[in-house]
Chain A
Amino acid sequence: SQTIHQWPATLVQPVGSPLSLECTVEGTSNPNLYWYRQAAGRGLQLLFYSVGIGQISSEVPQNLSASRPQDRQFILSSKKLLLSDSGFYLCAWSVSTSGTEAFFGQGTRLTVV
């Protein structure tokens, strides 16, 4: 069966420091991969999605970037964190055909101090 791993679960980072959040999927190949940010009362905001290795689409311009160095690995990064980057980040995957649901990881609570 397919599983999704996201780490770390919580992270406290100082302003100006770099960020790297990692997400991996097991048990499937060529998944669609997503990074969302969840803010209280604001739902899930799509940050990036990827339909294949090296293919990244950004939905919202901001201080973050994403990379997909391997088929089932999706990384969210920042060179210099801002206070406003604090939030709950969710990785998700779906089967590469369009008519399926997304499956979510456990999320990372990022606090920038």
Chain B
Amino acid sequence: AQSVSQHNHHVILSEAASLELGCNYSYGGTVNLFWYVQYPGQHLQLLLKYFSGDPLVKGIKGFEAEFIKSKFSFNLRKPSVQWSDTAEYFCAVKPGGSYIPTFGRGTSLIVHP
């Protein structure tokens, strides 16, 4: 079965700092990749997704992620974070043809104003 590793469990940044959250997965075949965000008190919502094509994916709120197949990675980036980016971020992987996304443990991001 596939697994997803998010290496940073807690990240604390100041506003305007750059962000990169790591995500690695273990699955050798075709995958669909996702980043979800959960703002305090809110439900999980999709930040961005990769199915095929350009490995650099742009999402909402200035986030982007790059799929590097050779490294089995799908890292999330934002050049300049804001206080409102404080949230928990989850990486998810779904093998092509599967109905079931597997989630990482999540990364808690705190941005200080």
Beyond A98-B99, A107-B43: 12 further Cβ-contacts under 8 Å? A34-B100, A41-B9, A43-B106, A46-B100, A49-B99, A90-B43, A98-B96, A101-B32, A101-B34, A101-B46, A102-B101, A103-B46
Our pick among A42, A98, A101, A104 for the contact of B98 (Cβ within 8 Å) is A98
Our pick among A34, A44, A46, A105 for the contact of B90 (Cβ within 8 Å) is A44
Question: Residues of A with Cβ closer than 8 Å to B?
Answer: 32, 34, 36, 41-44, 46, 49, 51, 90, 92, 94, 98-99, 101-107
B contacts with A, residue count (CB < 8 A): 26
B51 contacts A106, CB within 8 Å?
no
Question: Residues of B with Cβ closer than 8 Å to A?
Answer: 4, 6, 9, 32, 34, 36, 43-46, 49, 51, 90, 92, 94, 96-106
Nearest chain B CB to A101 CB, angstrom units:
5
Interface of A is mostly: strand
C-alpha gap A106/B38 in the complex (Å): 10
